[in-house]
């Protein structure tokens, strides 16, 4: 296959679920060529040692993470590193002209103090951080066009913000009444050996975790504040669901105007996402299930208004590893490169 003219890209930290999704999706992308796979462990080993099922498709070896080499070979690079590591190499990559899409939390915050408070990590790259664009295309498409550095959103914030944004942006709700009850499959916790993520522990069970202190909270609040035009505090509770992939966010908030009905909101949401090919608003009375989005970059949103309580209940679903992670990063790249936003991304979910 001739890749003449394709844009060379790389993935740093390709061993985890986000990384392997990127590899799989980038190999199907018609405009890029995956020329570099880096990881600080397993250097020199074939990538297929980690994922033997890809042995016939990926013959690359894992290379050391050297920003100089990466920038030389790649026009854009995806960083899938633990929090606090992307900010160690991003400045050098940018300096050498490489576009950077960071999938960690390092470049999601406009106020580094918030990052430091919630992630307990000091930072020395203030000027670089100031360049970062928050990679939620449905909200920041215009800024992404010019971006060199993208802080790709967390999985929960993606589902939560797509559900909340139209209400906040239009001033339809009382922001501090917003409660996000989020549910995620266990792949969100990555390919790390943890006892509580064993099938024997997590299957056929269900639990909340990090109640009132999950570190996706400030990320959600930052964007909500941006949309509302003032500081907003949000209630966010994540739950672990006995399934591999998918996030569902159930978002409650009190409407300012008690006369608004479901059909009004559906109209407002459809207008808001008119130019967003990856967001689908369900017909009245239809609530999405996570499986609809399974394997695709889609976000489905179902909307209800409870006239008895005056609340809007908005339900969004995504595939946490695609729209919630790898797919959204590629969507950002598409925009940065001025390609069609849907290029190379799976358009139909996988059912059943």
Residue 83 neighbours by CB under 8 Å, 6+ apart = 104, 105, 106, 119, 121
Given 3, 116, 120, 233, the residue binding its own copies (CB under 8 A): 233
Gyration radius (Cα) of the chain, Å: 20
Sites for its own copies among residues 168-207 (CB under 8 A)? 176, 179, 181, 183, 185-187, 189, 191-195, 197-207
Total binding residues toward its own copies, as defined by CB under 8 A: 84
Catalytic residue among 87, 155, 299, 332: 155
Interface characters, 45-74, with its own copies (x: CB under 8 A): ------xxxxxxx-----------------
Say how far apart CA 81 and CA 8 lie, in whole Å.
Answer: 20
Phi-psi region of 204 (alpha: psi -120 to 50; beta: other; left: phi over 0): left
* 155 is an active site residue: yes
Nearer to its own copies, 104 or 186 (CB): 186
Closest by alpha carbon to 135, among 79, 179, 81, 173?
79
Say how far apart CA 64 and CA 14 lie, in whole Å.
Answer: 12
Given 96, 111, 124, 347, the residue binding its own copies (CB under 8 A): 347
Nearer to its own copies, 145 or 350 (CB): 350
Interface characters, 251-290, with its own copies (x: CB under 8 A): -x---------------------------x-xx--xxxxx
**SS3 call for 294:** coil
Given 18, 302, 324, 327, the residue binding its own copies (CB under 8 A): 302
Nearer to its own copies, 126 or 213 (CB): 213
| Minimum gap (Å) between residue 236 Cβ and its own copies | 9
Query: Residue 245, interface with its own copies (CB under 8 A)?
Result: yes
| Minimum gap (Å) between residue 85 Cβ and its own copies | 21
| Minimum gap (Å) between residue 86 Cβ and its own copies | 23
Task: Record the tokens describing residue 351, joined without a space.
Answer: 């059912």
Three-class SS of 263-280: HHHHHHHHHHCCCCCCEE
Taking CA atoms, 107 is separated from 15, 115, 272, 344, in Å, by 21, 9, 26, 25
Say how far apart CA 169 and CA 268 lie, in whole Å.
Answer: 11
| Minimum gap (Å) between residue 88 Cβ and its own copies | 26
Distance of CA 332 to the CA centre of its chain: 10
Query: Residue 291, interface with its own copies (CB under 8 A)?
Result: yes
Query: Residue 13, interface with its own copies (CB under 8 A)?
Result: no
Query: Residue 88, interface with its own copies (CB under 8 A)?
Result: no
- Which residues are identified as catalytic? 155
């Amino acid at each position: 296959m001739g890749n003449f003219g394709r844009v060379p890209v790389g993935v740093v930290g390709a061993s985890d679920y986000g990384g392997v999704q990127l590899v799989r999706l980038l190999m199907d992308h018609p405009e890029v060529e995956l020329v570099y796979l880096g990881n600080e462990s397993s250097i020199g080993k074939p990538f297929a040692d980690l994922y033997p099922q890809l042995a016939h498709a990926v013959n690359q070896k894992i290379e050391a993470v050297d920003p100089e080499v990466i920038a030389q070979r790649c026009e854009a690079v995806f960083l899938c590193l633990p929090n606090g590591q992307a900010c160690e190499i991003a400045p050098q990559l940018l300096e050498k002209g490489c576009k950077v899409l960071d999938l960690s939390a390092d470049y999601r915050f406009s106020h580094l103090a918030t990052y430091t408070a919630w992630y307990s990590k000091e930072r020395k790259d203030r000027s670089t951080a100031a360049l970062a664009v928050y990679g939620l295309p449905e909200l920041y498409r215009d800024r992404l066009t010019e971006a060199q550095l993208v802080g790709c959103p967390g999985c929960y914030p993606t589902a939560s913000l797509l559900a909340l944004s139209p209400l906040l942006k239009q001033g339809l709700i009382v922001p501090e009444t917003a409660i996000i009850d989020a549910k995620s499959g266990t792949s969100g916790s990555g390919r790390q050996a943890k006892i509580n993520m064993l099938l024997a522990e997590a299957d056929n069970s269900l639990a909340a975790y990090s109640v009132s202190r999950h570190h996706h909270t400030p990320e959600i609040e930052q964007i909500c504040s941006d949309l509302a035009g003032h500081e907003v505090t949000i209630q966010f509770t994540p739950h672990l669901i006995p399934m591999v992939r998918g996030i569902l966010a159930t978002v409650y908030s009190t409407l300012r105007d008690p006369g608004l009905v479901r059909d009004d909101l559906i109209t407002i949401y459809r207008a808001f996402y008119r130019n967003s090919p990856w967001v689908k608003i369900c017909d009245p009375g239809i609530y999405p299930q996570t499986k609809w989005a399974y394997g695709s970059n889609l976000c489905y949103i179902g909307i209800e208004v409870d006239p008895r309580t005056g609340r809007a209940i908005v339900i969004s679903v995504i595939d946490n590893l695609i729209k919630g992670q790898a797919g959204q990063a590629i969507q950002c790249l598409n925009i940065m490169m001025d390609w069609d936003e849907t290029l190379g991304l799976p358009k139909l979910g996988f059912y059943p």
